[in-house]
Amino acid sequence: MTKDDLLKLYNMNLEDLLALSSKYVSDRVEFCSIVNARNGKCSQNCKYCAQSSHYRTNIETYPLIDEDEVIKAALDAKSNHADRFAVVTSGKTPAEEDFNKVLSLIKAVNKIDGIKSCASIGILDEDMAKKLAQAGLKRFHHNINTSRSYYPEVCTTHTWDDRLNTCRLVKKYGMELCCGVILGMGETVEQRIEMALELAEIQPESIPINILMPIPDTPFENYHDKIDEENILRTLAVFKIANPKSVLRFCGGRMRLNEENQKLALKTCVEGILIGNYLTTVGKNPKEDIKTVRALNKVIV
């Protein structure tokens, strides 16, 4: 579909738009979970992020956690019906020592019956991508975050193409790709359409949808009104129509939607949920998500 096609859809009657996107949605909902395995002290200046060393957000920082903590978190996720579990670390790209530890963590997660390993550890080079695949990593997460045209307004210490290159390496070495966005960072409607089309070119298996939760003392701390609930729903619908084979996944900031609109999205656009807490913000109790999904007569997979 062209940009004009998607813009016309974006601006149509909301009920009709959601009815259209619902044609691409199954009765299955995937649950996944993460562990924040290394927090803070990131060299990058992403304007939304509490972990950037460029801003004084006063978050707790810590080095890579031990394997026992990772396994405990993975087993807890499994008990709440998650079948995917991600090791997530801060930083542009991991140092060699940390990277080797992450490879060991991935192998440990893979030993848990019923759990597929995921990782989100920043920008990769070819050797890293190859070693992750050899370690048995099932899926790698790396967001484009926003459109190519808007990216310089979000971050200047690396480029949108740096991110795209990592996505290409993930696919080159046979891993699944989880690649999504953060909505509400000041982008225009047209740039949301651009994101949908850019993701369609990348073809990730999973598209995580984050909605900006403004963090005090970051440049985006006052960006509370850059997107409203209706436009979130419109964006979700257009993303699903443009990417019918990808699983749209509720992630950080979904509480910007009220309960009814979260349920509406699960009926018409969204087929995955990142359960539990996020990196530096609090999520829902997984038991609430289980109850909601079952009440919608959806199957948790």
Burial profile 258-270: b = 16 or more Cβ within 10 angstroms, e = fewer: eeebbbbbbbbbb
87 SS3 class: strand
77: left (phi over 0), alpha (psi -120 to 50) or beta: alpha
Do 185 and 206 form a contact (C-beta atoms < 8 A)? no
pLDDT, tens digit, for every residue of 108-158? 999 999 999 999 999 999 999 999 999 999 999 999 999 999 999 999 999
Do 191 and 150 form a contact (C-beta atoms < 8 A)? yes
CA–CA dist 286, 113 (Å, integer): 20
CA–CA dist 119, 121 (Å, integer): 6
**Distance set, CA 75 to CA 82, 135, 143 (Å):** 9, 20, 26
CA–CA dist 162, 46 (Å, integer): 14
Token digits of residue 50: 């509490």
Q: Which domain holds residue 19?
A: 3-300
| Strand partners of residue 79 | none
Number of domains in the chain: 1
End-to-end distance of the chain based on CA atoms, in angstroms? 30
DSSP string of 10-70, one letter each residue? HTS-HHHHHHHHGGG--SEEEEEEEEEEEBS-B----TT-TTBTTS------B-PPPHHHH
Q: Place 277 in a pLDDT band, splitting at 50, 70 and 90.
A: low
**pTM reported for the whole predicted model:** 0.95
From the number of C-beta atoms within 10 Å of its C-beta (0-12, 13-18, 19+), residue 51 rates as buried
Do 35 and 85 form a contact (C-beta atoms < 8 A)? yes
Residue 97, domain CATH: 3.20.20.70
pLDDT, tens digit, for every residue of 76-102? 999 999 999 999 999 999 888 899 999
Q: What average pLDDT does range 41-62 have in this prediction?
A: 89
Cβ contacts of residue 268 below 8 Å, gap of 6+?
18, 19, 21, 22, 25, 236, 237, 240
Q: What average pLDDT does range 286-295 have in this prediction?
A: 94
**Which pLDDT score is estimated for 249?**
97
219 SS3 class: coil
